[in-house]
Amino acid sequence: MNLEHLLTKEHLQIRETIREFTKKEIMPRTRELEADYSLVEEVHQKLVDMGVQADGYPEEYGGGGHGSMKSLCIITEELAKGDAGISLSVGINAGIILKPAMVVENKFVMDQFIPRFTGDKLAYACISMTDEQGGADSENPLLAGGGIKTTARLEGDEYVINGAKSWPTHGGVAECYLTVCNTDPSAGDEGIALIYVPKDTPGLTFGKPEEKMLFKTSINSSIYYNNVRVPKEYRLAGPGMDANIYHFFEVGTGWHSSAMALGVAERAFELALAYTGTRMGGFKPVRQHSMVAGILADMAIGIDMMRASVYNLSCMLDNLDVYGPPWSPQLISKASATRVFAGDKAVEIVNKGAELLGSMAISKDFGYEKCLRDAKIFQLWLGGQQICRYRVARGYYDLKNWA
């Protein structure tokens, strides 16, 4: 996709700034960053100092007031070229988790949490979604909320939350936890509740950080809710609208996954292109051989199609007056199609590049092995590719709930 006519001078400046930051602060230090999380936090703090964290929040709270999906897509893509885990954290902290409160104008939640993200210090946010019991059932749209095992019971003016969540990003370090709960499993979508839980709330505890082969620069820890009590005002909106916003999250997280996948695939292509230009075989650079040229062409074609899909979705999300509410089956379907395509294509592109690099693809000294590790998650998280396909199908016909 040719983007230049779609990007403003501000977009171009953002792209150049983040691209140069990534080349200077992340790419030369990937091994050190994966080994020492304090260095990761130094990178995040530099991005905070640049205004990236605050940019997606309203100006009245000290934010930048921008928050366009196109701008965040540029930031996500460019950072993911250096480190997808850092890119993931930046997107989460820059407004994705508190965006629902801004959409429904829950001023209580906004007043409580947004100022923590518009100051001069790094702050983490967390979406607490996948249940320890049932796993991807939490994200399965055919279960109409019935797969959500974490419960929320209204007692007077407080919600009492019980349950356990697995693999949430920023578990244990976040300022707030947007928790996906169920008030009544028999009520379908009406039983879905989204409740913000502040850190240090009594009854809120965490597991140890997960040991992972990929995304080592982002923290994942289980979250446990043992009679966690929060004022009812921390609920996002109420029955019905909470479910709409949860489905909106299916759009937003799928978009975010796709933008990161694009960055990882682009980095893999850059490394493969450079290596095959200097590696000699048959008395000439190997990329001058027709077989290698064909593989590089396939990688380039895939990236072009990924970019077209991801930025088209970004433009759609920036123009909801045209495309309708983000929780509509049609928009969820389009976002899910982009997520499935981008996830599968990223793995395909990275694997093709590895064939060209041979043993260098798995050398820690070269850096391509990081692309191999990081790409796989885009097919695995957020319910996985198969459950995501249910959302695609629902944009075209009435795929029934399981009941």
Structural domain boundaries in the chain: 4-117, 125-234, 241-394
Q: Are 330 and 322 in contact (CB under 8 A)?
A: no
Close Cβ partners of 180 (under 8 Å, ≥ 6 residues apart): 127, 128, 129, 138, 148, 150, 192, 193, 194, 246
Close Cβ partners of 83 (under 8 Å, ≥ 6 residues apart): 26, 30, 33, 217, 370
Cross-strand pairs, 135: 131
Closest CA to 67 of 108, 104, 99, 90: 99
Q: Which parts of the chain have pLDDT scores under 70?
A: 1, 401-403
Pick the CATH number of 241-394 from 1.20.140.10, 1.10.150.530, 3.40.50.20, 2.60.120.10: 1.20.140.10
What span, in angstroms and rounded, lies between the C-alpha atoms of 333 and 377?
Answer: 20
Same fold, 4-117 and 241-394: no
Q: Are 191 and 185 in contact (CB under 8 A)?
A: yes
Q: Are 262 and 306 in contact (CB under 8 A)?
A: yes
Q: Are 391 and 250 in contact (CB under 8 A)?
A: yes
Pick the CATH number of 125-234 from 3.90.700.10, 1.20.120.330, 2.40.110.10, 3.40.630.10: 2.40.110.10
Domain 4-117 belongs in CATH node 1.10.540.10: yes
Instruction: Say what the pLDDT of residue 403 is.
Output: 46
> Alpha helix (H) ranges present in 24-172?
30-35, 37-49, 69-82, 84-91, 99-104, 107-117
Instruction: Say what the pLDDT of residue 338 is.
Output: 97
What span, in angstroms and rounded, lies between the C-alpha atoms of 395 and 295?
Answer: 34
Instruction: Say what the pLDDT of residue 402 is.
Output: 56
**Tens of pLDDT, residues 232-243:** 999 999 999 999
**Tens of pLDDT, residues 2-47:** 778 888 899 999 999 999 999 999 999 999 999 999 999 999 999 9
DSSP string spanning 321-389? HHH--TTSHHHHHHHHHHHHHHHHHHHHHHHHHHHHHGGGGG-TTTSHHHHHHHHGGGGTSTTHHHHHH
Instruction: Say what the pLDDT of residue 106 is.
Output: 96
Instruction: Say what the pLDDT of residue 391 is.
Output: 94
Give the rounded distance of the alpha carbon of 20 from its chain centre. Answer: 22
